[in-house]
């Protein structure tokens, strides 16, 4: 392991950057990954293990008339075929979702989206299972589907959720935040009002590894071991106990290495439950792994918000108020992952980074005949949608007022002395210092020079666009008194043991999917105790070995679990002081800490290192009253607030006037995630998120035809960016620590996905300004850009 202690101050950060625990060290998990020795779900092979496949509905909306499994059962190698009727008998046909709705595990009455689970085949091998799917005879009676969310509430629209007693429409919820009357009053007297419908289309997290599970039910002890691609092993265990009626202490969830989560692996999908049922029914371990199309068509989508947004401002560009009305397409079951009290997630952070007089938002959720989900794909619960809305609107305002979009933003920023800042919809931003971040990104970009270049090019008819965005994220959910998921408070645990020789193991309730937790969480302990990171083992992803906690999503691991780890290390340090005092025959209050050791005040030559203290604790030293013989501790951390990282992004695009093709020429990203642990990992997180953002802005969309056929069900149609489509990222940072986090860190994992789509679209629209284009909806594909140039913008 290369350790370069990155303690040198960073001029751009005003000298404040002091990365934690040796800073930019290489990732401890990478030797295993780059040698192909990772252990993913499909690598798990248990003795006698069976394989499975799911029959999926070919249509979006249909009554299930009959289903005949005789031919499939007779197929060689097939061990069991399970239908919805079988599940009804087991009371497992419907499972609770993360949003207090239910979802069909297998269809019993009606198909509600194309790709829905209809039957489950268990066989000796994968091929037999797949082949048998074609031998299941199903008769459907096709019904008219609801595909356009705008028509979901029309009188006479087909009712999708006939399973809900008394349901006569497709309405799920209405939710609002802010003060409507106050906001309307500000709008009524404003000099300038701009308004725009902005669509954030349906996209998919599309992680490299699809979802999968291996279920191993042991009938004698009644013990279930479930290997699963999950971002939240403990929450899944509790839900499985509730759904399957297996006592919680007899369930072990193991989440091994995960090939990307991005929110896709938060929910509980029918496939996981079916693997368990398959194992119970056959008495053998059962593996289920979905293919790419199954992943894109049936597991959680993200976004799908139709937003009508408005800004009220003065003539000189002071933003006064924001209001929006949103139609949220939740698909056939409301399975959105978010804290219970927030049906639209944290969308009400849509006031962004600006100091406003008033704000109001209303969100209406509807059912359609599409896959359920609405996951926080690389976004803390709808913050992506919120940031996209406000950052597009601010750009539209800048155009209207003929102001520079960066200067307009700077003029309206919440000022450093206003933090902690209470916004108009109930959030308290912990800390921020926005203008330096914006100015730094402008400096890296050479902003004025770019504008000059653009002017010249415009005169020559070339299409160059410069897009600015500024975002505030809302991560680290969340205080237990406000936030829970299906009744489980959003806290996280950490356990730390220092072994007699001074090596340590820290056990986490969160679950890495590639973010590098094995490295960064060891770094936090290293910072607090002075044990080198390579001597600290990080254990996660196994409910039998780790403390309870809600898991990894919404960039909450560092804000919540990272805090737990810092505090558990401090607990150990405090205990070590008593033991060191006993060893040195002095009083604890006469000792002073320096990284890695307690020493006698005034005589640094007399002291004990953590390793010596640990040996003392486990050895023969006489321990003080009330101190037991170990250096272990545990903590459950309930965050007092979320953390609010932020960033300033600038994107430069060139558009080919002949084809409408958008090339992202440059992208400058300045991020502030408070105290940084590992700058290299942070850069990796930012690079990944920016790539995601370019993908959504330019090419990714899950679309449907009018019959409800999914048109984005493979990587032939659902395009994701490669190295060819992205530029060399130019990153910078500022450091504004979180005042309430023990080490001042904020999350960063999703920041770039949140901040980059508006920067790219703002750049595209800026390039198209000569054509009078004020807005265009994502993805800005060549076809759509070309149509916009002809004055014919196409709705998604
Ligand atoms: N960090 C540092 N410093 C600071 C912060 C942070 O260093 N200040 C680092 C840490 O430690 C880690 C990372 O960085 O390692 C991240 O973090 P965060 O922010 O805390 O986050 P998390 O929790 O850990 O994670 C999560 C995220 C999310 S959420 C998502 S989407 C994505 C991201 O993460 N995903 C992923 N990133 C990533 N990466 C990878 N590789 N893979 C993946 O999958 Mo969601 O809600 O789920 O949608």
Ranges of H-type helices in 461-604: 517-529, 563-584
The pLDDT value given to residue 347: 98
Question: Quick one: tokens of 631?
Answer: 């250096």
How many residues are listed for the chain in this entry?
796
Q: Which ligand 1 atom sits closest to the C-alpha of 746?
A: 8
Distance 731 CA to ligand 1 centre (A): 17
Per DSSP, the three-state class of 768 is: coil
Inter-residue contact 353 to 646 (CB < 8 Å): yes
- Omega within 30 of 0 (cis) for the link into 779: yes
Q: Whose CA is nearest to atom 2 of ligand 1?
A: 677
The pLDDT value given to residue 471: 98
Backbone angles phi, psi at 309, to 5 degrees: -120, 150
Distance 488 CA to ligand 1 centre (A): 22
Distance 524 CA to ligand 1 centre (A): 15
Q: Which ligand 1 atom sits closest to the C-alpha of 376?
A: 48
CA separation for the pair 376, 205 (Å, rounded): 9
Q: Which ligand 1 atom sits closest to the C-alpha of 205?
A: 48
Inter-residue contact 397 to 194 (CB < 8 Å): yes
Q: Which of 506, 570, 563 has the alpha carbon at shortest distance from 537? A: 506
Per DSSP, what are the bridge partners of residue 632?
497
In testing the pocket of ligand 1, which one of 336, 379, 494, 515 has its CB within 8 Å of the most ligand atoms?
Answer: 515
DSSP code at position 55:
E
Measured from CB, residues less than 6 Å from any atom of ligand 1 are 207, 231, 260-263, 376-378, 513-517, 520, 552-558, 673-678, 681-682, 685, 688, 745-750
Q: Helix, strand, coil shares of the chain as percentages rounded to 5?
A: 30, 25, 45
Alpha carbon distance, N-terminus to C-terminus of the chain: 49
Backbone angles phi, psi at 444, to 5 degrees: -65, -40
The pLDDT value given to residue 272: 97
Per DSSP, the three-state class of 403 is: coil
Report yes or no for ipTM above 0.85.
yes
The pLDDT value given to residue 66: 98
Per the listing, tokens 């998919």 go with 204
Q: Answer whether 0.90 is exceeded by the pTM.
A: yes
The pLDDT value given to residue 343: 96
Distance 631 CA to ligand 1 centre (A): 29
DSSP code at position 324:
E
Q: Whose CA is nearest to atom 43 of ligand 1?
A: 260
DSSP code at position 779:
P
Instruction: Compute how many other C-beta atoms are within 10 angstroms of the C-beta atom of residue 1.
Output: 12
Please list the ranges in the chain whose pLDDT falls under 70: 1-17, 793-796
Cβ neighbours of residue 72 closer than 8 Å, sequence gap 6 or more: 78, 81, 119, 121, 132, 133, 135, 136
């Amino acid at each position: 392991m290369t350790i370069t202690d990155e303690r040198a101050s960073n001029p751009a950060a005003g000298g404040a950057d002091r990365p934690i625990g040796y800073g930019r060290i290489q990732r401890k998990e990478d030797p295993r990954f780059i040698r192909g020795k990772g252990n993913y779900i499909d690598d798990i092979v248990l003795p006698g293990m069976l394989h499975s496949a799911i029959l999926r509905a070919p249509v979006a909306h249909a009554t299930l008339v009959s289903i005949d499994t005789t031919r499939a059962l007779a197929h060689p190698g097939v061990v069991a075929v399970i239908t919805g009727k079988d599940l009804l008998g087991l009371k497992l046909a419907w499972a609770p979702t993360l949003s207090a709705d239910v979802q069909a595990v297998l269809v019993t009455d009606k198909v509600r989206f194309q790709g829905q689970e209809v039957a489950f085949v268990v066989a000796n091998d994968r091929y037999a299972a797949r082949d048998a799917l074609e031998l299941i005879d199903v008769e459907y009676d096709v019904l008219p589907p609801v595909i356009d969310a705008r028509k979901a509430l029309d009188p006479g629209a087909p009712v999708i959720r006939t399973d809900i007693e008394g349901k006569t429409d497709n309405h799920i919820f209405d939710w609002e935040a802010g003060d409507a009357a106050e906001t309307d009053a500000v709008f009524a007297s404003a000099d300038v009002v701009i308004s725009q419908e902005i669509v954030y289309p349906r996209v998919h997290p599309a992680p490299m590894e699809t979802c999968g599970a291996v279920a191993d039910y042991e009938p004698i002890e009644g013990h279930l071991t479930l290997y699963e691609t999950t971002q939240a092993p403990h929450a899944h265990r509790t839900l499985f106990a509730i759904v399957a009626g297996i006592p919680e202490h007899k369930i072990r969830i193991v989440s091994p290495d995960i090939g990307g989560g991005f929110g896709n692996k938060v929910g509980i999908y029918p496939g996981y439950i079916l693997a368990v049922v398959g194992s119970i029914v056959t008495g053998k371990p059962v593996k289920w792994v979905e293919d790419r199309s199954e992943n894109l068509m049936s597991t959680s989508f993200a976004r799908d918000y139709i937003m009508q947004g408005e800004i009220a401002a003065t003539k000189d560009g002071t933003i006064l108020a924001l209001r929006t009305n949103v139609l949220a397409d939740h698909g056939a079951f409301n399975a959105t992952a978010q804290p219970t009290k927030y049906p639209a997630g944290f969308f009400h952070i849509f006031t962004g980074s600006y100091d406003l007089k008033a704000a109001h938002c209303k969100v209406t959720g509807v059912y359609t005949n599409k896959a359920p989900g609405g996951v926080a794909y690389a976004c803390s619960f709808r913050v992506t949608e919120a940031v996209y809305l406000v950052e597009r609107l601010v750009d539209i305002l800048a155009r209207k007022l003929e102001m520079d979009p960066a200067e307009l933003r700077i003029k309206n920023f919440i000022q450093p002395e206003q933090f902690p800042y209470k916004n108009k919809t109930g959030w308290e931003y912990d800390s921020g210092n926005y203008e330096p971040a914006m100015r730094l990104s402008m400096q890296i970009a050479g902003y004025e020079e770019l504008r000059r270049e653009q002017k010249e090019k415009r005169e020559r008819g070339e299409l160059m666009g410069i897009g600015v965005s500024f975002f505030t994220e809302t991560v680290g959910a969340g205080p237990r008194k406000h936030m829970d998921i299906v009744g489980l408070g959003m806290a996280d645990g950490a356990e730390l043991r220092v072994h007699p020789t001074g090596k340590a193991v820290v056990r986490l309730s969160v679950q890495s999917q590639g973010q590098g937790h094995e490295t960064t969480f060891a770094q936090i302990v290293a910072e607090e105790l002075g044990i080198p990171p390579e001597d600290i083992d990080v254990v996660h992803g196994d409910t039998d070995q780790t403390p309870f906690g809600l898991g990894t999503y919404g960039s909450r691991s560092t804000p919540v679990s990272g805090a737990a780890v810092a505090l558990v290390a401090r607990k150990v340090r405090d205990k070590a002081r008593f033991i060191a005092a006993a060893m040195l025959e002095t009083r604890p209050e006469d000792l002073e800490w320096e990284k890695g050791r307690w020493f006698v005040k005034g005589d640094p030559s007399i002291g004990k290192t953590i390793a010596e203290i640990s040996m003392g604790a486990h050895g023969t030293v006489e321990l003080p009253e009330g101190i037991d013989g170990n250096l272990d501790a545990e903590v459950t951390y309930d965050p007092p607030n979320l953390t609010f990282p932020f960033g300033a992004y600038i994107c430069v695009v060139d558009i080919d006037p002949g084809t409408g093709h958008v090339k992202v020429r440059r992208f400058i990203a300045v991020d502030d995630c408070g105290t940084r642990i590992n700058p290299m990992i942070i850069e990796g997180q930012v690079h990944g998120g920016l790539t995601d953002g370019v993908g959504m802005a330019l090419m990714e969309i899950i679309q449907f035809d009018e019959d409800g056929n999914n048109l984005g069900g493979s990587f032939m149609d659902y395009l994701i960016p490669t190295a060819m489509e992205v530029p060399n990222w130019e990153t910078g940072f500022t450091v504004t620590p979180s005042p309430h986090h023990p080490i001042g860190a904020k999350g960063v994992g999703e920041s770039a996905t949140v901040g980059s789509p508006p920067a790219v679209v703002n750049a595209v629209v800026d390039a198209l300004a000569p054509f009078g284009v004020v807005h265009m909806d994502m993805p800005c594909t060549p076809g759509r850009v070309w149509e916009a140039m002809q004055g014919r913008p196409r709705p998604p």
